[in-house]
Amino acid sequence: MGAVWRQAGIGALAAVLALFPGLAVAMEWALVPERSRIGFEYLQNGQRARGIFARYHGEGLFSPEAPEAATLELRIESASIDLDDNLASAFATSAEWFDAATHPLVTYRLTSLSPLGGDRFHAIGDLTIRGRTRAVRTEITLMIDGAKARAEGVLELDRRDFGLGVGPSALFVEIGRAVAVRFDLTAMPPE
């Protein structure tokens, strides 16, 4: 009986779409972490330094016909920060930095996506780190090839807006205010 109702629902949806050809249906997407990368660059004692986050998850909706209706929620495990040095990585999860024990997730929620032409979009979203939420803006390149989507770009932020690195350790190591978060995210329809 469930299959009959499912078929009827699909038929009804097809009929609605036929009546309203401009109606866009958003497709569900799930982030594929093993095909994605979230890294960042910053200055430490005047030298360029890099790191990555190793664990994150996310999902969203997107239709090329209605990009303004897109949604995205990305959750990054703050304890998964990797600065290519075990001691530095552990310190980055401390209370002076990401405070992973109290704030285990960094979250990003897309609030606006506007086309700029071609595969380029202007994205605005709410970024929450250490319980502090700020609106952030960036340009992204979004490419969809059948059942695979790829978004890449750079998000510039000031770490002090989120209370990162404002404790006593600032007396011993100089970390620049500006952080460039480089992302290359691949998503596919959920199974």
Instruction: Return the pLDDT at 26.
Output: 82
Look at phi and psi of residue 16 and say left if phi exceeds 0, alpha if psi is from -120 to 50, else beta: alpha
Domain of residue 35: give its range. Answer: 25-188
Does some domain include residue 12? no
Q: In this predicted model, what pLDDT tens digit does every residue of 59-74 receive, in sequence order?
A: 999 998 899 999 999 9
Three-state secondary structure readout of the chain: CHHHHHHHHHHHHHHHHHHCCCCCCCEEEEECHHHCEEEEEEEECCEEEEEEECCEEEEEEECCCCHHHCEEEEEEEHHHEECCCHHHHHHHCCCCCCCCCCCCEEEEEEEEEEEEECCEEEEEEEEEECCEEEEEEEEEEEEEECCEEEEEEEEEEEHHHHCCCCCHHHHCCCECCEEEEEEEEEEECCC
Does some domain include residue 18? no
Instruction: Return the pLDDT at 172.
Output: 79
Domain count, the chain: 1
Does some domain include residue 15? no
Regions of the chain with pLDDT less than 50: 1-23
Q: What is the reported pTM? A: 0.84
Q: Which two tokens stand for residue 61?
A: 């909706």
Does some domain include residue 176? yes
Does some domain include residue 83? yes
Does some domain include residue 10? no
Instruction: Return the pLDDT at 14.
Output: 40
Q: In this predicted model, what pLDDT tens digit does every residue of 119-144 receive, in sequence order?
A: 999 999 999 999 999 999 999 999 99
Cα 125 off chain centre by: 9
Does some domain include residue 37? yes
Does some domain include residue 152? yes
CATH number of the domain encompassing residue 65: 2.40.128.110
